[in-house]
Amino acid sequence: MSDFVDRVTVHVKGGDGGNGSAGIRREKFKPLAGPNGGNGGDGGSVIFVADRNATSLLDYRFMPHRTAGSGTMGLGDNKDGSKGDDLILPVPCGTVIFTAKGAQSAAKRPGEQLADLRHEGDRFVAAQGGNGGLGNIALANKTRRAPGFALLGEPGEERDVILELKSIADVALVGFPSAGKSSLIAAMSSAKPKIADYPFTTLVPNLGVVIAGDSRYTIADVPGLIPGASEGKGLGLEFLRHIERTEIIAHVIDCATLEPDRDPVADYQALEKELALYADKLELPLGAIPIPERPRIIILNKIDVPEARDLADFVRPEFEKLGLKVFEISTASHEGLKELNFALSALVKEMREEVANREQAEEEARVVIKPLESGRRTRRADQGGTALDFTVERRELGNGEVVFEVLGTKPERWVVQTNFDNDEAVGYLADRLAKLGVEDELRRKGARPGDNIRIGRGNNAVDFDWDPTISAGAEMLDGSNLGARGKDLRLEEQDPRSRRRSNSERRAQYHEMMDARAAVREAMMAERLAGHWADPSIDDDRHDTTSLFGRGESAEDADGADGGDADNS
């Protein structure tokens, strides 16, 4: 069984964000001292990183589902939840990441290219982690002073991607089956490919590292090509992608073949035709040299056979007329391998400088627009917007019902963050949608109270009956709508002094206080002039039983006496 995998489908999912906390600070004699719920932690992301120590995508075939760590929930006492760990996935240099297209139960096929990890350390975030939900202390403001709810964490991004490995080698060996490509790699490097005397022995590409003096370069053995490989015949189409990143194409030609309809020149022309057809379908990376412009060399193999040596001497002038360098070798006797090794080393050094110059020129020519350093999507408790931030469409269902579908980044994200078991949270969602302009757009589209409204799509869609008069739960604690949206009456009822007085109110209260003081002084002065304070024999209160001179009459006697006096008079 082969352990080389160069294409695999991976299901990646970012970590979910933790929920915010709706904690309330409690102090002595203050059961509602204010909010103190912390924010939930952000979820981790799934990140692919190009690593030169990775050689295959085999691990992802056996473990195709990868999930990053989720954030934890916020706590009371203004404690934020911890962030989920990012999942770092190493892939070989030269890995290209595509979106996966196709039905859920069918085989996936590559779609849009997402990233090209060509160099060591290149990174790509395949699945972004979800933002943590805001706690009630972050949702509080001067009008909503004690929110009784918090936002839920957002789920992490989830999708399928296709990883496709395009080997990065300096020299690509191409040729018909049994031309001796695997034997050549085994003779020039420490690679141990499978070698046998039948066609299509090599079922997967082989890479070998070759040392020539103080230089080093890599050779890739592409499985045998045949006419029609660019259209899917044989194994060529499956592995032609491995020559896209090579700088030099070396044709390995079997001079000892016994097939009567083949000769070295015809083999070369047939393979060049397939490469030209395949090159038309390619979208080369930045700075890459087109396949038709890459240097070619001809390697005439198996000259240890007398007939093969004679054939090599005969066809060599024909290749040289085409401007091609020709090397006659034998992998069995190692004849000509040293000259080939140093010639390839010099050519590789020259092509590396050419590719570096092209990449630098392309980088200087193109305009790169970099976003601001934000690491995460914007997190705000309330965000205004315009009608361009969302769309409202009126859709008629098959059963005669009508639904108004609201789509947009903000409304869909807000719905996910809302805890629909909390009336105050639902009211807060209504406030945000109204501030964004969703209610005005619904009215413009002809929606009426009670119509079915759907926000989002797929499994995250939420359906509800539209009630444009709904308010935040804090305003409906006694069952009636007592104020405007977002206004918390609980604290105002407990502490009347929490509202700051105006200057006119301060002035009126001051005059009332001064008038009361003047009235008290006048009453005290009248009692003093009457002598009530100087003569203790005067009974000021005849109902006072503790008075030395008082009679201590009861209230009934006093009323009777007063009534009698009134009758006598």
Check whether 304 is labelled as a binding-site residue. Answer: yes
Say whether both 173 and 295 belong to one domain: yes
Contact by Cβ (8 Å): 66, 87 = yes
Q: What is the mean pLDDT of residues 223-228?
A: 60
Question: In a 10 Å sphere around its CB, with 0-12 CB exposed, 13-18 middle and 19+ buried, how is residue 274 labelled?
Answer: buried
Check whether 214 is labelled as a binding-site residue. Answer: no
Say whether both 156 and 173 belong to one domain: no
Amino acid identity, residue 401?
Answer: E
Question: In a 10 Å sphere around its CB, with 0-12 CB exposed, 13-18 middle and 19+ buried, how is residue 388 labelled?
Answer: exposed
Check whether 535 is labelled as a binding-site residue. Answer: no
Check whether 418 is labelled as a binding-site residue. Answer: no
Q: Considering its fold, how many domains does the chain have in total?
A: 3
Check whether 257 is labelled as a binding-site residue. Answer: no
Give the number of other Cβ atoms within 10 Å of residue 239's Cβ: 22
Helix or strand run (H / E) with residue 416: helix 409-417
pLDDT for 232 beyond 80: no
Check whether 98 is labelled as a binding-site residue. Answer: no
Check whether 451 is labelled as a binding-site residue. Answer: no
CA distance 83 to 18: 8
Say whether both 61 and 156 belong to one domain: yes
Would residue 515 count as lying in a domain? no
Of 72-76, 225-229, 350-354, 360-364, highest mean pLDDT: 72-76
Say whether both 146 and 186 belong to one domain: no
* pLDDT, tens only, 420-454: 888 888 888 888 888 888 888 888 888 888 888 88
In the listed set 415, 439, 472, which residue is the last one of a domain according to the structure?
A: 472
**Mean pLDDT value across the chain:** 77
Say whether both 295 and 341 belong to one domain: yes
Check whether 224 is labelled as a binding-site residue. Answer: yes
Check whether 180 is labelled as a binding-site residue. Answer: yes
Check whether 331 is labelled as a binding-site residue. Answer: yes
Would residue 215 count as lying in a domain? yes
The confidence score (pLDDT) of residue 272 equals 83
Check whether 211 is labelled as a binding-site residue. Answer: no
DSSP 8-state code for residue 293: G
In the listed set 318, 340, 361, which residue is the last one of a domain according to the structure?
A: 361
> Taking every pair of C-alpha atoms in the chain, what is the biggest distance, in angstroms?
163
DSSP of 444-467 = HTT--TT-EEEESSGGG-EEEE--
Distances (CA, A) of 343 to 30, 316, 337: 87, 17, 10
CA-angle at 130, arms to 124 and 135, nearest 5°? 145
Distances (CA, A) of 458 to 76, 153, 177, 417, 443: 34, 19, 50, 16, 25
- Specify the residue for token string 């085994």: 186
Check whether 193 is labelled as a binding-site residue. Answer: no
CA distance 194 to 177: 13
Q: How confident is the model at residue 384 (pLDDT cuts 50, 70, 90)?
A: very low
Q: What is the mean pLDDT of residues 90-107?
A: 85
Any bridge partners for residue 308, and if so which?
none
Say whether both 19 and 118 belong to one domain: yes
Helix or strand run (H / E) with residue 522: helix 503-529
Say whether both 128 and 226 belong to one domain: no
Check whether 222 is labelled as a binding-site residue. Answer: yes
Would residue 61 count as lying in a domain? yes
Check whether 496 is labelled as a binding-site residue. Answer: no
Q: How confident is the model at residue 67 (pLDDT cuts 50, 70, 90)?
A: very high
Per DSSP, the three-state class of 376 is coil
pLDDT for 375 beyond 80: no
pLDDT for 296 beyond 80: yes
Say whether both 356 and 400 belong to one domain: no
Tokens of 557: 């006697």
DSSP of 108-133 = PEEEEEEEEE-STT-EEEEEPPPPPP
CA distance 118 to 392: 43
Check whether 411 is labelled as a binding-site residue. Answer: no
* pLDDT, tens only, 308-363: 888 888 888 888 888 888 898 888 888 888 888 898 888 888 888 887 787 777 76
CA-angle at 211, arms to 293 and 194, nearest 5°? 85
The confidence score (pLDDT) of residue 45 equals 94
Check whether 230 is labelled as a binding-site residue. Answer: no
Contact by Cβ (8 Å): 513, 520 = no
CA distance 332 to 352: 31
Question: In a 10 Å sphere around its CB, with 0-12 CB exposed, 13-18 middle and 19+ buried, how is residue 526 labelled?
Answer: exposed
DSSP 8-state code for residue 545: T
Contact by Cβ (8 Å): 494, 32 = yes
Say whether both 429 and 283 belong to one domain: no
Q: Are strands 158-165 and 7-13 parallel, antiparallel or unpaired?
A: antiparallel
Instruction: Give the domain range for residue 352.
Output: 169-361
Q: Average the pLDDT over each of 112-121, 212-221, 278-287 and give the range with the smallest value.
A: 278-287
CA distance 387 to 365: 38
CA distance 209 to 23: 62
The confidence score (pLDDT) of residue 227 equals 59
Query: SS3 string of 463-514?
Result: EEECCCCCCCHHHHCCCCCCCCCCCCHHHHHHCHHHCCCCHHHHHHHHHHHH
Residues constituting the chain: 569
* pLDDT, tens only, 238-267: 556 667 778 888 888 888 877 767 788 888
Helix or strand run (H / E) with residue 106: none
What b/e readout covers 556-565, taking b as 16+ CB neighbours within 10 angstroms?
eeeeeeeeee
Would residue 513 count as lying in a domain? no
Contact by Cβ (8 Å): 385, 437 = yes
* Better pLDDT: 534 or 184: 184
pLDDT for 200 beyond 50: no
Say whether both 130 and 43 belong to one domain: yes
Check whether 221 is labelled as a binding-site residue. Answer: yes
CA distance 179 to 530: 137
pLDDT for 510 beyond 60: yes
Say whether both 211 and 321 belong to one domain: yes
Check whether 106 is labelled as a binding-site residue. Answer: no
Q: Give the CATH number, domain containing residue 465.
A: 3.30.300.350
Would residue 536 count as lying in a domain? no
The confidence score (pLDDT) of residue 205 equals 66
Q: Does the model's pTM come out above 0.85?
A: no
Would residue 479 count as lying in a domain? no
Say whether both 346 and 206 belong to one domain: yes
The confidence score (pLDDT) of residue 424 equals 86
The confidence score (pLDDT) of residue 150 equals 92
Check whether 175 is labelled as a binding-site residue. Answer: yes
Q: Give the CATH number, domain containing residue 133.
A: 2.70.210.12
In the listed set 443, 472, 501, which residue is the last one of a domain according to the structure?
A: 472
* Better pLDDT: 309 or 469: 309
- Specify the residue for token string 């804090």: 474
Would residue 452 count as lying in a domain? yes
pLDDT for 68 beyond 90: yes
Torsion, CA 538, CA 542, CA 547, CA 548, rounded to 10: 60
Check whether 330 is labelled as a binding-site residue. Answer: yes
